[in-house]
Amino acid sequence: MTPEEKKVILASSLGTVFEWYDFYLYGSLAAVIGVKFFSMYDETTRNVFALLAFAAGFLVRPFGALVFGRLGDLVGRKYTFLVTIVIMGASTFIVGIMPTSDQIGILAPIGLIILRMLQGLALGGEYGGAATYVAEHAPNGRRGFYTSFIQITATAGLFLSLLVILGTRSVLGEAAFADWGWRVPFLLSLALLAISVWIRMQMQESPAFQKMKDEGKVSKAPLGEAFGQWKNAKIALFALLGLVMGQAVVWYTGQFYALFFIGSVLKVDGFTTNMLIAWSLVLGSGGFVFFGWLSDKIGRKPIILGGCLIAAVTYFPIFKLISHEANPALSAAHANISVVVSADTNGCSFQFNPTGTARFTQPCDVTKAALARASVNYRVQNTPGQQAVTVQVANQPVVNATVVENGQARINPQFQAQLTAALNAVNYPTAANPTVVKMSGPFDVFREQPAVLIAMLTLLVIYVTMVYGPIAAALVELFPTRIRYTSMSLPYHIGNGWFGGLMPATAFAIIAQTGDVYAGLWYPIIIALATVVIGIFMVPETYKRDIFSENADGSANAADFKH
């Protein structure tokens, strides 16, 4: 690399690290934020709303891709993603100073969701700008390697957010952190914002865009040209379904869902969970550059689709091994203790609520949610016409989840206490059981439990690097310069924002519906396999394409495609 190329990659990557840091803070602190901003609701509803507020940031990302992608193709890459980082940093800082629901009531969650949506809009414009900017500086035959440094930024941002949270918790203590210390990581965004803006102010416009601008070939209507013409729109559609959709679910499974599964399902404490994930990120992140480099040699598709296929085939055994190592007693209970819910399934809902407008208050729903929250494996026995909902734990007396009065079923006020007693009677393990993995410090990794868990989580991160390392180069090469920012941003953010971002809420709904703590994995497995099939037949291989060699109208030269 020349010094100028190194500067371009550093400036783009470092700014994007800070942007992902801002975005991930909420995901890492969702439980704390749920208490602070949704305190008017019960714990179950509060947790669901906190997850959905997290998802809100993902839902608006495609709209940010349209707004800022269009701006980037009209006025340039540099100034557009300078704007995105200002919006992101300012929104995150305001979360750190905003009053909680105890102070201003319903205005707190409303304000939080608005800020989350602003973050999502900004992120929708950020990635496409950074990837396009770096790719348009990269020489032919090196785009996979150059853009792979952009791909590291999402993982680096997550890692940085975890480090700051762990450091703040260690210095302040858990009580102070839960009270007010959770604000500190958000407030640090102001310093990161200042550094990022200064770095990006030093950057020049990309040579490909500047050349097109000098020649007067800039698109006058990027949105219409990108998505109003079928020849371009179909490429965006195939990019979404045949590359990005699978990449997204593999990425979120390997990082966010693993974090959720270990902490919420397996009941591992927050410090240990974060340290296990942090170690896996350190050990596995070099794969981004390796697979980006390899994609310059053998192509983008074999690596991305191969990663999707391997992940889909191995997720169940990997997560079962993680369960066995992280909480052996709970893993054994899942296999050996029978729990049966008897209910008329017509009164049971699929507890998926991406808009946050529904509340699941039917007895069957409350019962299944309580069992899922306790990480209990159960099966549902359909009893048509039966108003009562009951729970049978092994050989214990039946627990009545409902009482029927005047022909109406309602939740038994003693249900939670009776369910807890029945689980305790068969020694169903709690979060405090002594078999749960617990790390005493950052370097307490030389025992079997943490060592095996870190190895498994590192394998999941390697899957992430396979699908994510080459994706920026693949998307850049699919579209001509004049509409590249717009065209690549939308499929990327629909895939990652919707298919990936909704994974925690979807997985919880599937677990509650089936009673199987592993069933949430069917979501990424099915989508990853669909991507493999669509990608093989519908997406061209582009790694040998010369993006600086385009026809007069800016369209791709068919001779540059290697199928």
The three-class DSSP label of residue 419 is helix
User: Are both 343 and 229 inside the same structural domain?
Assistant: no
Same domain, 116 and 260: yes
The reported pLDDT for the residue numbered 456 is: 97
Confidence at residue 361, expressed as pLDDT on a 0 to 100 scale: 67
Is there a domain that residue 332 lies in?
no
177 shares a domain with 276? yes
Mean pLDDT for the stretch of residues 471-491: 88
The answer to whether residue 295 scores a pLDDT higher than 50 is yes
Q: Are strands 408-411 and 402-405 parallel, antiparallel or unpaired?
A: antiparallel
In this structure, of 178-187, 303-312, 483-492, the range with the lowest mean pLDDT score is: 483-492
Lowest mean pLDDT among 73-82, 311-320, 353-362: 353-362
Q: What is the predicted pLDDT for the residue at 560?
A: 38
Q: What is the pLDDT of residues 489-533, one digit of tens each?
A: 889 888 887 888 778 778 877 887 888 889 999 999 999 999 999
The verdict on 52 and 112 lying in the same domain is yes
Domain-located, residue 433: no
Cα–Cα separations (whole angstroms), residue 248 to 103, 351, 478, 541: 38, 22, 18, 19
Asked, for residue 24, whether it belongs to a domain, the answer is yes
Region 266-278: mean pLDDT is: 88
Give me Rg for the CA atoms of the chain: 24
Do both 46 and 77 map to the same domain? yes
- Per the CB < 8 A criterion, the answer to whether 310 and 532 are in contact is no
Does pLDDT of 465 surpass 90?
yes
Residue 561 banded pLDDT, cuts 50, 70, 90: very low
pLDDT score recorded for residue 324: 94
- What is the pLDDT at residue 352? 63
Alpha helix (H) ranges present in 215-300? 222-227, 230-239, 245-252, 258-260, 270-284, 286-298
pLDDT value for 225: 82
Q: Are 239 and 313 contained in the same domain?
A: yes
pLDDT band at residue 195 under the 50/70/90 scheme: confident
Taking all residues of the chain, what is their mean pLDDT, rounded to a whole number? 84
Q: At residue 406, does pLDDT exceed 80?
A: no
Pick the most confident of 61-70, 293-302, 387-396. 293-302
Does 551 have pLDDT greater than 50? no
d(CA 282, CA 289): 13
In a domain, 434, yes or no: no
What pLDDT score was predicted for residue 329?
Answer: 92
48 in a domain, yes or no? yes
Q: Is the pLDDT of residue 559 over 60?
A: no
What pLDDT, on the 0 to 100 scale, is given for residue 510?
A: 85
Checking DSSP bridges between strand 390-393 and strand 399-400, what pairing results, if any?
antiparallel
Whether residue 3 is predicted with pLDDT greater than 50 in this model: the reply is yes
- Helix ranges, 137-264 (H): 143-172, 174-176, 183-187, 189-201, 207-214, 222-227, 230-239, 245-252, 258-260
Q: Are residues 370 and 457 in the same domain?
A: no
Q: pLDDT band at residue 555, thresholds of 50, 70 and 90? A: very low
pLDDT recorded at residue 563: 34
pLDDT reading at 50 higher than 80: no
Mean pLDDT of 48-52: 66
Give me the percent of the chain exceeding a pLDDT of 70. 91
Which residue shows structure tokens 């500047």? 210
Model confidence at 461, in pLDDT bands (50, 70, 90)? very high
In a domain, 97, yes or no: yes
Domain boundary among 377, 402, 425: 425
Residues 135 and 201 in one domain: yes
**Tokens 């729903």 sit at which residue?**
365
The answer on pLDDT for 395 being more than 90 is no
Residue 272 pLDDT: 92
Average pLDDT over residues 216-222: 77
**Domain total of the chain:** 2
Instruction: Convert the pLDDT of each residue in 80-139 to its tens digit.
Output: 878 888 888 888 899 899 998 888 888 888 888 888 888 888 888 877 788 888 888 888
List the structure tokens of 456: 């498994």
* pLDDT attached to residue 354: 52
312 with 381, same domain: the answer is: no
Instruction: Note down the domain range covering 391.
Output: 338-425
Read off the pLDDT band of 562 (50, 70, 90).
very low
Give the DSSP per-residue string, 74-117.
Answer: HH-HHHHHHHHHHHHHHHHHHHHH---HHHHTTHHHHHHHHHHH
**Domain annotation covers residue 86:** yes
Pairing of strands 390-393, 339-343: antiparallel
Per-residue pLDDT tens digits for 414-434: 888 888 899 889 988 877 788
Identify whether residues 369 and 461 lie together within a single domain: no
CATH number of the domain residue 211 falls in: 1.20.1250.20
DSSP 8-state code for residue 139 = P
The residue from 375, 403, 425 where one domain ends is 425
280 confidence band (pLDDT: 50, 70, 90): very high
The stretch 167-189 carries a mean pLDDT of 89
3-state secondary structure of 380: strand
238 and 381 share a domain? no
Residue 333 inside a domain? The answer is: no
Instruction: Mark whether 317 and 343 lie in a shared domain.
Output: no
User: What are phi and psi for residue 318, nearest 5 degrees?
Assistant: -65, -45
pLDDT of residue 545: 86
Which pTM was predicted? Answer: 0.84
Asked if 133 contacts 13 with a C-beta cutoff of 8 angstroms, the reply is no
Mean pLDDT along residues 284-303: 95
DSSP result, 328-363: HHHHHHHHH--EEEEE-GGG------TTS-----SH
Higher local confidence (pLDDT), 209 or 270:
270
Sign of the torsion angle spanned by Cα atoms 222, 227, 233, 235: positive
How many Cα atoms sit within 13 Å of 88 on the Cβ side?
A: 35
**DSSP assigned state of 300:** S
Residue 302 in 3-state DSSP? helix
Helical axes 448-468 vs 245-252, angle rounded to 10°: 160
> What was the pLDDT predicted at 471?
93
**Amino acid letter, residue 542:** T
Q: In percent, how much of the chain has pLDDT > 90? A: 28
Q: Which of 375, 392, 425 is the last residue of a domain?
A: 425
- Other C-beta atoms within 10 Å of 36: how many? 24
Residue 399 sits at φ, ψ, to 5 deg, of -95, 125
Range in 10-24, 386-400, 496-510, 548-562 with the lowest mean pLDDT: 548-562
Q: What is the pLDDT at residue 558?
A: 39
Report yes or no: 359 and 45 within 8 Å, Cβ to Cβ: yes
52 pLDDT band, cuts 50/70/90, is low
